[in-house]
Amino acid sequence: MILTVTLNTALDLTYAVPALVPHSSHRVGDVTERPGGKGLNVARVLSALGHDTVVTGFAGGATGAVLRDLLGALPHGPDDALVPVAGNTRRTIAVVDGSTGDTTQLNEPGPHIGSDEWTAFLRTYGELLPGAEAVALCGSLPPGIHVGAYADLIRLARAAGVPTLLDTGGEPLRRGIAARPDLVKPNAHELAQLTGAREPLRATRDARRRGARSVVTSLGPDGLLAVTPDGIWRAAPPSAVRGNPTGAGDSAVAGLLSALAEGLGWQDRLTRAVALSTATVLAPAAGEFDPAAYEDLLTRVTVEQHAAAA
């Protein structure tokens, strides 16, 4: 079983409009709802790849009830181990501009989590760890959760012998990486905030020196850069694609995590991650991927090893 943790779950709403024009009224052509938050997006992709997956984190209020209903309705979807809270789960709204293909994202902050609710989550997390092959800790922290929360969860997983992947930003990333996760996957902006370096290779190396066993940096449409014990790697799609990038980074995490759980090497991990993220950009709805595009991309992603050791 693969466990994903989403402390700040969300109901993802995607609106399609012919063109997004500031200071004007818009008629929405299409609306989709998905259970969201980074870890839930990762879990949905893992389930589609055939992995037994469990999601935990928090869900509450009317929005949380809708999220759990949608999660339960997914065919072959992840198992729900979300912890109920008094506050209302947040919404995220993606507005897709049909004239350009660009997406504008609006993210609510999430409910305040009380100390009793955090204790209930820790109990659930501890019960799930013994059955997990790997754990993904994903996304922002809701109000009320201390910035060292991911660091604590990484230490608990390591004590249970379970490898961890961390995908967050800001101070939670800084604290979490010091707890020595097995893999960290920041984007270029998160990496620059962490290290102060803008050059991707320098910043990725610096991040790894801060405690992570391996660091995989998202380069957006240019693919992934990885600094690992087995070397330095670059992976890229065969060509740039246009579409909705929402969830592409989460699909990359699912690719890395599934390959880690299967014991695959770095070339296969990165190939899968780039193929999944690119196929997600090509899909119409946030957090989904195009299966046919994914299978095609698996044979066309370029992976190069730039150094024998990192």
Residue 4: phi and psi, rounded to 5, are: -115, 140
* Cα–Cα distance list, 194 to 59, 182, 191, 208, 210 (Å): 29, 17, 5, 11, 10
Backbone angles phi, psi at 264, to 5 degrees: -80, 160
Cα dihedral sign for 227, 194, 209, 254? Answer: negative
Known catalytic residues are 250
Give the span between the Cα atoms of 263 and 187, in whole angstroms: 24
Q: What is the DSSP letter of 18?
A: S
The candidate with the shortest Cα–Cα distance to 250, out of 33, 8, 40, 19, is: 40
Phi, then psi, of 83 in degrees rounded to 5 = -95, 125
